[in-house]
Chain A
Amino acid sequence: MELIVSSSIGVLTAGGIYLLLRLRTFPVILGLALLSYAVNVFLFASGRLAIDQSPILSRYGEASYTDPLPQALVLTAIVISFGMTAVLVMIGLGAYLESDSDQIDIEPDDDDPQDEGAA
């Protein structure tokens, strides 16, 4: 199981980073989403893996539980990363609508007087 989880984290990270490095906004947003998955699972896994040990206290005698703290942290992280993705989507959308291009790289603006001074 550990191998499955860690390899999934690795594949998600690799895919996320590759997409983050693309030159258009949409793939970057997708990349960020993948990377958020990877990070959330990574944080979750820092509590180590356990099966059938949900951190819901049993009313009927002793039981063992998995580490609840990373779960609590990841739960809010999932919601926050949704908020972050949404803001990013809006920024990307705004940039596209304003400039009619969804390219990531900023073309140097020839009208900029400072650049002329430097050149």
Chain B
Amino acid sequence: MSLAGTILLIIAVLPFVGALLPGLMIRAGRNACAIATAVPTALALTMLVVLAPAVLRGEVIQAELEWLPQLGLSASFFLDGLGLLFAGMILGVGLLIILYARFYLSGDDPMGQFYTYLLLFQGAMLGIVLSDNILLLLIFWELTSLSSFLLIGYWKHLPEGRQGARMALAVTGAGGLAMIGGMLILGNIVGSYNLTDILQAGDQIRASEWYLPALILILLGAFTKSAQFPFHFWLPHAMAAPTPVSAYLHSATMVKAGVFLMARMWPALAGTDEWFYIVTTIGLITMVLGALIALFKDDLKALLAFSTVSHLGLLTMLLGFGTQAAAVAAVFHIINHLTFKAALFMTAGIVDHETHTRDIKRLGGLRHLMPITFLIGMVAALSMAGIPLFNGFLSKEMMLEEASHTDWWGSPYAVPVMATIGALLSVAYSLRFIFHVFFGPVRDDYPSKPHDPPFGMWAAPALLVTLVVIIGVAPFLAEGIVTAAANAVTGADLHPHLKIWHGVTPALWMSIIAVLGGAILLTMHTPLDRVWNALPRPEAKAIFDRLVEAIVAAARRISDDTHNGAISRYLAIFTVASVGLGWIAYSSSGLSAPTRGLLPVPPVMAVGWVMLIVATISVVTMHHHRFRALVLVGIIGLSISAGFAYLSAPDLALTQISVETVTIMLLLLALHFMPKTTPKESPMGLKMRDGVIALGAGGGVAALAYAFLMRDIETISDYHLANSYEGGGGTNVVNVILVDFRGYDTFGEIIVLGIAGLVIYAMMHALLDGPAARRLKNTDYSQDRSRDRHPLMMVVVTRVLMPIAIVVGLYIFLRGHNEPGGGFVAGLVIAIALLMQYMASGFAWTQERQRIEYHTMIGLGVVIAAATGVGAWLLGRPFLTSAYAYVHLPPIEEFELATAMLFDLGVFLTVLGAVMLMLYSLSRIARFAGETVNVDPMDYDPGENTQDEAER
């Protein structure tokens, strides 16, 4: 990447990095915070200036970082004339806003937050104008919506601020979604998401049958962002934001993003009838409507907001014309609008700040009290009105000139007349801003005594109006950047000449009519205002609120109907949907012919099958008797283990049978505290419905299983079979897969199991601290208790069995690598052996003899497993690579030592710890419920009696 490319990347990243600073620097004071915000912005601006000469010469600077090439998404940026113009505006005005906000924000406002949001927004905007990839552009586009939401709603305590922010987010966010669709279509047409490619494929795009949908979707995004009719209503409501935000978002950046997008896409999309009629018409309507509403707004910022809407309409219309001269005018007006509108917003902010009101009807006569503010405001407003010698005049003349020879639906008058009316209204509201605020008699009822603000506050607008005058008097100074930007928009090589005097043209006459008409209109403002207020007008906010309410109500109805809190309903919907999808998949593609035959069924298996079916049906019909149902579930589990054993899965059979035992014990323990029967409460209709769903799902799954059982597949298992002994050092392939090939999966699974154990333990503690504890204490469980809870025979047998069970467990563990067995099964077997002690000899007796806490055991297991994996790292091998060796130690037979064994030990410990912790937690509840504790193994101790007799 070239040096220029690197600089470009840094520019794009700087604001985001800088956003981290203000939050920290606010601790060093407000000035330090403002400076910390200004530094990254100024730095980026300086770098931009360094790049500017090359871009003005017509070069395009590019930078690319691969991000997700599979999706066609790369972090690529480019800087051409248009990008330079907008980036300069974003950074330049950003710098002024940072200065202005330092003095505008009061001590109560969290300034660090403000500057962080501001820099985030700045970064997002820069991203939009610099992106060379439309997917990346979309990401930044959404980022502007989000960060502007934070900025507009900055004053969280104001309901208007929150509502305005929400509305802005809803409207621009919805537009952004539409634009995503449009951009994806565009990318599909061209076959590339690179903007540079797309801009060169204009003919291909316009010829495509997908052109119109893409155009409409993209324009929806641009129109919502740029507040074009009928989406214009959000912008005035966003005025609840602090004025620096309004000045930044609504003069230079956010709303211009839509205009930028239209300008950017101009070579790809413009030039068709569809483009012309949609864009021009919407722009024209917005321009006139915005100007009309602005004239009758009494709130200074609302007036400026609608005037912004109107000017955005003007820009949209110019871009809609589709001619090169119009594009030049649009680019020039973007610059001019930025200078005077940002200055005006800041002026309005100063007036608000000093007089504590923005209501024009309560203002007037400020000329003498705030002379500097007056001068700034007047120059900016005259420029907005389009008075000669100010820059607004120049671009407005160019606009009128373009409008004067535009045909609209066969009529040569429609556009010029409407444009003149728009200009006329614009003159009227601009003059109103000057006369009703600054002229007239000095009043004595301002809410606060006004005077000019400190230098820091008026410096920024003063600089802007200086630009207004300089460009207005010597427009050729702006020629360079306008040419570069216009060339980038049109893709042509233009050499526009910006000058004040064009001779007596139709545009000049239109301008004269507009200025005179506007002045006359203002003199009639008072009566007109009365008429306007008497007229019924659609209130956009009310409509929007009703619309949102309706959508929310509809969404709530849908979720209330589908998600009513009953799990049975979710599951029913889920099951039906899954079966439906399966059916669609089956009926749309069909099946290939079977390739396998049926295996024979020995009589034992047939018996097992009958047992399983009968038991399942019995569980369903008899589930009201919970104990009985549990016994039946045990039968099912045993039949399945038998099936596994027969179908060449000895490991599964072992696991199933031990898990089965533990599960039943667990359920029995839980059932101790629950009702022993389920009431028959389901109505017949519900049963029928559930039955149909269940049979449908069961039938579907059975058919699916049968279908794939009859067909062969390609499997990756041959690799495992071939490498199990050579690579993993074990002949039990299932175990080698668990501890070696897919050891990482197993590692995750034991962690999950450990977490489940801890969750149960935690829930037990939470329960015993809550209201459930009282209920437990007050319930009498003695009915369920056996008279002889620790029968002699059982105690003796379990004691004898304990060492045997442990030896069996160890044996299963040790042989696991080569024969059926392994850590999972061994853990379960030992757990069962321990459980037998608990059951036979009692909780307390067993607990007293416990050496290691079960939590520790879980942790130890996971740590051992992890350490085994890390050990491979230390030897420079990938995580969990195993090593093994065969050892011969007389007099024992040759045996194997493998690191996988160590891993299996981790598995073993975790399984044992988790299972024991689960059952332990349930027994804790039992003890809490008043279960008496025996420290002796038996309620009745025969030894004690014999002693007594001996003494006697």
A44–B649 CA distance with the chains assembled, in angstroms: 9
Main secondary structure, interface of A, reads helix
B504 interface residue, CB < 8 Å from A? no
With A17-B697, A68-B733 known to touch, is A6 a contact of B702 (CB < 8 Å)?
yes
Q: How far is the CA of A98 from the CA of B673 in the complex (A)?
A: 12
B471 CB, nearest partner CB in chain A, Å: 55
B contacts with A: majority SS: helix
Residue contact B734 to A82, C-beta cutoff 8 Å = no
* A-chain residues with CB within 8 Å of residue B760 when the two chains form the complex: 86-87, 90
Tell me how far the C-beta of B715 lies from the nearest C-beta in chain A, rounded to whole angstroms.
Answer: 5
- Chain B residue contacts of A66, Cβ below 8 A: 647-649
Give A33 to B615 CA distance when docked, in angstroms.
Answer: 13
Partner of A68, one of B720, B757, B914, B925: B720
Return A23 CB to nearest CB of chain B, in Å.
Answer: 6
- Cα of A59 to Cα of B731 in the assembled complex, Å: 9
Q: Are B720 and A93 in contact (CB under 8 A)?
A: no
CB < 8 Å neighbour of A56 from B643, B678, B733, B742: B733
Alpha-carbon separation in the docked complex, A119 to B62 (Å) = 58
A55 B633 Cβ-Cβ under 8 A: no
A86 touches B666 (CB 8 A): yes
> Would you call B702 and A18 a contact (CB within 8 A)?
no
At the interface, yes or no: B368 with Cβ under 8 Å from chain A? no
Residues of B with C-beta under 8 A to A1: 598-601, 605, 647
B812 part of interface (Cβ distance < 8 Å)? no
Q: Is the CB of B620 within 8 A of A15?
A: yes
Contact string against B for A residues 16-42, beta-carbon threshold 8 Å, 1 for contact and 0 otherwise: 111111111111111001100110111
Residue pair B694, A9 in contact (C-beta under 8 Å): no
Asked if A79 and B756 sit within 8 Å, CB to CB, the answer is no
Beyond A23-B682, A87-B756, A94-B772, whether A105 also contacts B651 by CB under 8 A is: no
The distance in angstroms between the C-alpha atoms of A57 and B647, with both chains bound, is 16
570-615 of chain B: CB within 8 A of chain A: 571-572, 575, 596, 598-601, 605-606, 609, 612-613
B residues within 8 A CB of A71?
Answer: 649, 651-652, 734
Q: In the complex where A12-B616, A74-B652, A78-B659 touch, is A2 in contact with B706 (Cβ < 8 A)?
A: yes
Please tell me if the beta carbons of B756 and A13 are within 8 angstroms of each other in the complex. no
Number of interface residues of A (CB under 8 A): 88
Contact at A21–B772, with CB atoms within 8 Å? Answer: no
**Is B753 an interface position by the 8 A CB rule?**
yes
- How far, in angstroms, from A68 to B734 measured CA to CA in the complex? 5
Inter-subunit contact B701/A94 (CB<8 Å): no
Nearest CB of chain B from residue A69's CB, rounded to whole Å:
5
Contact indicator A87/B623 (Cβ below 8 Å): no
Contacts of A80 on B, CB cut-off 8 Å?
Answer: 749, 752-753
Which residue, A14, A29, A67, has most C-beta atoms of chain B within 10 A?
Answer: A14
Tell me how far the C-beta of B635 lies from the nearest C-beta in chain A, rounded to whole angstroms. 12
> B738: which of A20, A47, A76 is its contact (CB, 8 Å)?
A76
Which of A3, A13, A34, A40 is in CB contact (< 8 Å) with B697?
A13
B536 within 8 A of A: no
* 10 closest Cβ pairs, A-B complex: A10-B702, A14-B698, A97-B772, A83-B756, A106-B565, A1-B599, A18-B694, A6-B706, A57-B731, A72-B737
Q: Could you give 20 example pairs across A and B, Cβ below 8 Å?
A: A2-B710, A8-B609, A9-B702, A10-B705, A11-B613, A13-B698, A14-B699, A15-B619, A17-B697, A26-B675, A44-B652, A55-B734, A68-B721, A74-B652, A83-B756, A83-B918, A87-B756, A87-B760, A93-B674, A96-B674
Q: A49-B709, A57-B732 are in contact. List 13 more A-B contacts (CB 8 A).
A: A6-B702, A17-B571, A26-B623, A26-B626, A34-B633, A55-B732, A69-B717, A71-B651, A71-B734, A74-B652, A83-B753, A86-B760, A106-B566
A positions within 8 Å CB-CB of B: 1-30, 33-34, 37-38, 40-42, 44-59, 65-69, 71-72, 74-76, 78-80, 82-87, 89-94, 96-98, 100, 102, 104-106, 108, 118
